Structure 1
Amino acid sequence: MLKKVKRHSLKKHIEKNLTERDFSKRNEPLKYLGFVVDEAFFDDFEMLYEFGKELGLQRKDVKLFTFAETRRKIPSLRQNQITNKEFTWRGEIHNQNAQEFLDFPFDVLIGYYKGKHEFLGAMVAQSKAKFKIGFNGADERLFDLLLIVDLQKPEAFKSEVKKYLKILKKID
């Protein structure tokens, strides 16, 4: 029962954030890049930092935040992680690091996950990012650009994102 209430609240939060989104700075060039990643699907985070470097960014200008269904018992130094337990039944996020990440005005935010994902979708909707990129089957209302690419093939992902960032004049 509580899961249904939480899912309904997440949907309401997404709707609210979609109506409040500021599109005025959508065409800014790329200086800061953010990723929201589903850990169950992908865990080669170093590849994402390397991709930022290929785009001409320094490591400090590339940030990522991950979602794990449940926190592992093993102690972890990773602070940029959120679990479903950190979303209240009202759909609010209770994680200070996640809040800071979402409030940061990334020039491009990439939702690195497959399909629709309630928790990551809520994060993307709440993000103050200026331009948002998603992939196959994601909720198209959340993203400015949806790409059809196999995320298990990093080179295909990189080339598609680069191609569109050049077309949109976000990179040279």
Structure 2
Amino acid sequence: MFFNYFKDYFLKKKLKNSLSNAEVIPSNNKVQTIGILVDERSFLQTLALKEALIEHNFLEKNISIVVFRDPFKVKELNEYPTFGWEHINWSFQIQEALLLDFVKHPFDVLLSYYDTNNGFLQWITSQSKASFKVGFFSVDKRLNHILINTQTMNYKEFVQEFVRVLQLFNKI
């Protein structure tokens, strides 16, 4: 637990340096695939979030979810793939194959569903190959293309704003 604090500190420092060199490449593709990165420490209604997206005509098979859990417990049964600080080394390389596949998958949209400044979650967002990233206003503004100003518990409001933004950008 104590070492996770240091990992978080150094990861944020590396992230700060990498974000200063980032360039934005807009995409004109319609949204088909959605990746969702959830912080379970502050949001426990992942299934309800997924169902709210399905209600807005997104296909369930095109929605992928990974959940950050701290502390991570190997033997615990989970509804969605989970990861924790154990899945990143001191060189900031992801050690979990499932999480690595999630980061490398070219989603049309990545929903960064966390509103805390967690270095690991921010690192995953920055490393994601998603063409369009949406997150919360309370997180580093350089990580996402669109920021939604709401709380994580207001998932219905978040989804409504997300759909409205996609309609404005003619992505659905």
TM-score where L is the length of structure 2 = 0.86
Provide the C-alpha distance between the structure 2 equivalents of 1:17 and 1:143, rounded to a whole number of angstroms: 11
Contact conserved, 1:34 with 1:64, CA < 8 A, in 2? yes
Q: For 1:63, what is the secondary structure of its paired residue?
A: strand
Provide the C-alpha distance between the structure 2 equivalents of 1:117 and 1:154, rounded to a whole number of angstroms: 20
* Residue 72 of structure 1: how far off its partner (Å): 2.8
Contact conserved, 1:35 with 1:111, CA < 8 A, in 2? yes
| Percentage of pairs with the same residue | 25
**Counterpart in 1 of 2:96?**
95
* Structure 1 residue ranges without an equivalent (≥5): none
**Counterpart in 2 of 1:4?**
6
**Counterpart in 1 of 2:132?**
131
* Structure 2 residue ranges without an equivalent (≥5): none
Contact conserved, 2:65 with 2:80, CA < 8 A, in 1? no
**Counterpart in 2 of 1:153?**
154
Q: For 1:29, what is the secondary structure of its paired residue?
A: coil
Contact conserved, 1:10 with 1:90, CA < 8 A, in 2? no
**Counterpart in 2 of 1:61?**
62
Provide the C-alpha distance between the structure 2 equivalents of 1:95 and 1:47, rounded to a whole number of angstroms: 26
Q: For 1:75, what is the secondary structure of its paired residue?
A: coil
**Counterpart in 2 of 1:109?**
110
Provide the C-alpha distance between the structure 2 equivalents of 1:9 and 1:117, rounded to a whole number of angstroms: 9
Q: Which amino acid aligns with 1:60?
A: K
* Residue 85 of structure 1: how far off its partner (Å): 1.6
Provide the C-alpha distance between the structure 2 equivalents of 1:66 and 1:143, rounded to a whole number of angstroms: 18
TM-score where L is the length of structure 1 = 0.86
Q: For 1:142, what is the secondary structure of its paired residue?
A: coil
* Residue 48 of structure 1: how far off its partner (Å): 2.4
The verdict on how the C-alpha distance between 1:17 and 1:141 changes in structure 2, with shifts beyond 3 A counting, is closer
Q: For 1:71, what is the secondary structure of its paired residue?
A: coil
The verdict on how the C-alpha distance between 1:164 and 1:155 changes in structure 2, with shifts beyond 3 A counting, is same
* Mapping of residues 24-103 of structure 1, within 5 Å: 26-72=27-73, 74-78=75-79, 80-103=81-104
Contact conserved, 2:31 with 2:108, CA < 8 A, in 1? yes
Q: C-alpha root-mean-square deviation of aligned residues, in Å?
A: 2.3
Farther off after superposition, 52-61 or 35-44: 52-61
